Every structure is written in C-alpha cells, then in structure tokens.
Amino acid sequence: MFVSGAVIAAIVGAVFNVALAQYKDRSEERARLRKTFAEAFEVAMQYKEFPYAIRRRRADEPEAERVRLSEEMRAVQAKLSYFVVWTEGESKAVGAAYSALVAQLRQVAGTACNEAWKEPAVQDDAGMNLSSTVINLSSLKPFEKAYVTAVRDHFKPFYRR
C-alpha cells in the first residue's frame, strides 16, 4: 500500500499540534498552580503581620481600630482556611506543609496578636520599631521553608519525584 507524502505530512502535523496543545495546557495548569500556591503563602504572611499592625494601631480611634483590625483579621483567617483545604486538594505534600504552617502561624502569631492587644498603641515614630524582644515570630521560619520546599518539589518533573 502506498501512502502519499501529503498524508504523512498531515499525520505528522496533527500529532505535533496535539502534542503542542497538551504542552500548552500543562504549562497553563502549572502557572495556575504556582500562582495559587503563592497566593496561599501571601495570605499566611498577611496573618503574620497582624501583631505588628495591632501594636501600630491608631491610638486616637481605639474603637474604630478594633473593628478595622478584627474585620481584616477575620477576612485573612477565612482565606487561610480556604487555602488549607485547597492546597490539600491539589497536593498531599503541599497541603500537609501548608496546614502545618497555618497551625504554627495561628499559635505563634495568634499569641503575639493577643499580647499586642494588651499593650497600648504606639504613640510616636520611635515606637514603630518593634524588635524581636517585643514580637518574635522566628519560630515560623522552618514552617515557611517547609512549605516553599514542598511547593518547589511539587513542580519537579515527574521523573525526579
């Protein structure tokens, strides 16, 4: 049986186009995952900043500041809960690392928030400098690193996992 060059070219072109489309879909999916994993980390870092924000709240409007900060914190906590579930659904390893980060974050930064509310609001520029003796969140670093490592490992080629 004789197959013309045009038929062979058409078959090769079709195979190439299908492979290219699959590659594009995989690339877009990886980009979507990278972006969402990064957003999850961003939300964790937003929560981590609350002890500082609470200490630096406006002293002249205490009631308004309580409402503002508690509403912002509520929104961030809801996002943290969302991303815990989302990361677990996308990757068991990334989800476990993110859950551990969030649990430690809520314990360490949450405690720092409670302590910050007990302190008076910063009154002057010099008070804006909050040292690690005032707020120490360094114990979160290993959990942050573990999450970043889990995300990085998630994107390694399948043959390197």
25-34, 40-49, 91-100: range with lowest mean pLDDT: 25-34
Predicted confidence (pLDDT) at residue 148 exceeds the cutoff of 60 = yes
What is d(CA 120, CA 17) in angstroms, rounded to the nearest whole number? 65
HSE-CB at 133 with a 13 A cutoff on CA atoms is 1
What is d(CA 116, CA 134) in angstroms, rounded to the nearest whole number? 9
What is d(CA 80, CA 103) in angstroms, rounded to the nearest whole number? 10
- pLDDT value, residue 161: 44
80-84, 87-91, 107-111, 156-160: range with lowest mean pLDDT: 156-160
Taking CA atoms, 67 is separated from 62, 85, 106, in Å, by 9, 27, 20
- pLDDT value, residue 24: 66
Burial of 99 (C-beta count, 10 Å sphere; 0-12/13-18/19+):
middle
Q: Where are the domains of the chain?
A: 39-160
Helix axes 62-90, 5-48, angle to 10 degrees: 140
Predicted confidence (pLDDT) at residue 51 exceeds the cutoff of 90 = yes
